Amino acid sequence: MHAPASILPLHIDGLSFEAGGALLLDNVSATLRPGLRTVILGPNGAGKSLLLRLCHGLLAPTGGALRWGAFCNGDEERVRRRQAMVFQRPVLLRRSALANITYALALRGVRPRARRVAEARAALERLGLAPLAERPARVLSGGEQQRLALARAWALSPDVLFLDEPTANLDPAASRAVEAAVEAIHAAGTKIVMTTHDLGQARRLADEILFLCGGRLLEQTPAATFFHAPRTPEAAAFLRGELVG
């Protein structure tokens, strides 16, 4: 049996988002291809989270459009099911760590229950959370909750995973654990699209950089080029740690 074709690439065509009379995203165009780890950088308020939320379908653009791969025309359900998002503060259910994952698998139609439990336990194992399987998710530490959110996203084997500052509240060891999980999810074939304010992390993880400033996409550049020789003065100033935007 053939694996179903990926929903990628994602074509972002002139995407805009206006609210309260302000143009918060201004005519953003880019193509997000499978395989590359894409890191979105930019100063506070640049529109990074907005762009992720629009791509994930949590918000509707006020201008422009998103087009998913060639085989997705009109198949919104498939597009929705083949992507996942992890937020800075994980959104978890008042259930055990294990049940947070089995529930997500049930929503995706994985049957029977024994298969859901086996897949959820495997996902917890991959993130070193097996001993915490029966613990209520809400009592886990911040780093454990973030790893649980990643385990849940990974269990769904999405074509694309959006991550909005997944390590912003974590200590260095927990951040590295999350980075290792992101690497493993990437190696398993999921496209990574993430934001971070940690430039060291961006250097370690990124294949390409999208640089946003003031709601505009100023660069889509291979990571090595971006850090070595950014094309725009705004990006150069941002990398020097100066206030821009």
Ligand X SMILES: Nc1ncnc2c1ncn2[C@@H]1O[C@H](COP(=O)(O)OP(=O)(O)OP(=O)(O)O)[C@@H](O)[C@H]1O
Nearer to ligand X, 46 or 151 (CB): 46
| Tokens encoding 59 | 């918000």
Does 24 interact with ligand X (rule: CB under 6 A)? yes
CA pair distance 137, 92, nearest whole angstrom: 7
Instruction: Please state the length of the chain.
Output: 245
Say which entry of ligand X, Mg ion, none residue 143 contacts (CB below 5 to 8 A, set by partner kind): none
Out of 1, 2, 44, 243, name the contact with ligand X by CB under 6 A. Answer: 44
Say which entry of ligand X, Mg ion, none residue 230 contacts (CB below 5 to 8 A, set by partner kind): none
Say which entry of ligand X, Mg ion, none residue 42 contacts (CB below 5 to 8 A, set by partner kind): ligand X
Out of 48, 147, 152, 191, name the contact with ligand X by CB under 6 A. Answer: 48
Size of the site for ligand X (CB under 6 A): 11
Residue 121, helix vs strand vs coil: helix
Out of 15, 32, 41, 47, name the contact with ligand X by CB under 6 A. Answer: 47
| Tokens encoding 101 | 């994952």
Say which entry of Mg ion, ligand X, none residue 69 contacts (CB below 5 to 8 A, set by partner kind): none
Virtual torsion, Cα 72, 76, 81, 86, nearest 10 deg: 100
Nearer to ligand X, 142 or 245 (CB): 245
Out of 3, 20, 73, 77, name the contact with ligand X by CB under 6 A. Answer: 20
Per-residue CA distances from 29 to 16, 51, 126, 183 (Å): 9, 11, 36, 26
| Tokens encoding 188 | 């398993």
Q: CB neighbours (10 Å) of residue 220? A: 19
Does 180 interact with ligand X (rule: CB under 6 A)? no
Nearer to ligand X, 54 or 104 (CB): 54
Strand 216-222 vs strand 208-213: parallel, antiparallel, or unpaired? antiparallel
Do the Cβ atoms of 143 and 155 come closer than 8 Å?
no
Type of residue found at 59: L
Nearer to ligand X, 173 or 243 (CB): 243
Does 49 interact with Mg ion (rule: CB under 5 A)? yes
- Which segment (47-55, 74-82, 106-114, 126-134) binds ligand X by CB under 6 A? 47-55
Nearer to ligand X, 37 or 48 (CB): 48
**H/E element, 216:** strand 216-222
Single out the residue of 14, 182, 177, 11 nearest to residue 84, CA to CA: 182
Nearer to ligand X, 89 or 115 (CB): 89
- Residue ranges in contact with ligand X by CB under 6 A: 19-20, 24, 42, 44-50
Residues that bind Mg ion (CB under 5 A): 48-49
